Amino acid sequence: MIFRVASSLVSLIVIVLLGGFAAAALVRYSPGFSTIPEDLDPSIGPEVLRALHARNEDNNPLPVFYARYLAGTIRGGFGVSTSLNQPVAGLLRRRAPVTARLIAAGAAGGLVLGAFLAWLAVWTRSVFLETTAFSLSGLLLAVPPAVLALVFFFNEAPLAIALALALFPRLFGTMRTVLEDLYQSPVLLAARARGIGARTIAIRYVVGAARRQVVALTGVALVLAFGFSIPIEAICGIPGVGALALQAAIARDMPLMCALALIVTFFVTLVHNTGELLA
């Protein structure tokens, strides 16, 4: 167990560092990154502009920037946003709770809805209910999460419900397969033959047997919810981390993009490694 925890910790650190470097590289070598505000000032001569560009290039070689950025991050700061001219840590501190509430509510709703409809499709053995569950899943799978969120936004409905509906079809298929395997398992058939009550069967032979799959699906739901929250927040004007990420990408804000990349990579890797340890 200690070896597994240590291995997960090492992989977490390596993946987070690589994720931040990859984000910095994408921003650094994107078209237009070398432009500076002085380019729009007609009063500045070409010689001065060339000198300013040369100084900017000298101060921004990627390995040097990333090393300095990581050193500042270890000391507790994520730098200053070049587009918003504010400390990145403060921006994230104000916006993270908004995104966290949206992700938690959306992931929980998607898991509950997916589990309920998967149970209807398998446990009731009703062709009508199974067809209805599959049809609803296919319909919602064809609708982009951002479009679904816009419908709720214009009707002033909670966006967490839209996120839950977007997650449900991505989880429904796996949940149905898990329940179908349990329903046809010899252990469950033997429990029914012995006359064990439905509540005991549900707790001991379904929930207990599906513990690992539930843990894995919870991790998948959280990661998907985080990804879906970015376009939802950006399009609907929610002041969360997703809208901040879009603004940082448009402005080529390297300190802000690196901070977001480190946080996103850390979150995804932590959820994945935790799921593997608990499973």
- The backbone torsions φ and ψ at residue 141, rounded to the nearest 5 degrees and listed phi first, read -65, -30
Angle, helices 254-278 vs 2-28, to 10°: value is 160
What is the pTM (predicted TM-score) of this model? 0.75
Report whether 171 contacts 221 (CB < 8 A).
yes
User: Which of the 8 DSSP states describes residue 201?
Assistant: I
Q: What is the pLDDT of residue 239?
A: 87
Q: Which amino acid is at 83?
A: S
Q: What is the pLDDT of residue 109?
A: 93
Per-residue confidence at 58, pLDDT binned at 50, 70, 90? very low
Average pLDDT over residues 254-278: 79
Which CATH superfamily hosts domain 88-278? MetI-like (1.10.3720.10)
Report whether 232 contacts 242 (CB < 8 A).
yes
Closest Cα to residue 114, out of 203, 174, 182? 174
Residues 154-197: tens digit of each pLDDT: 988 899 999 999 999 989 988 888 888 877 777 777 777 777 76
Q: What is the pLDDT of residue 41?
A: 64
Q: Which amino acid is at 138?
A: G
Instruction: Return d(Cα 143, Cα 67) in angstroms, integer.
Output: 42
| Other Cβ atoms closer than 10 A to 43 | 6
Residues 219-245: tens digit of each pLDDT: 888 888 988 988 888 888 888 888 888
Instruction: Return d(Cα 184, Cα 213) in angstroms, integer.
Output: 17
Instruction: Return d(Cα 170, Cα 163) in angstroms, integer.
Output: 11
Q: What is the pLDDT of residue 38?
A: 59
| Other Cβ atoms closer than 10 A to 100 | 14
Domains of the chain, residue spans: 88-278
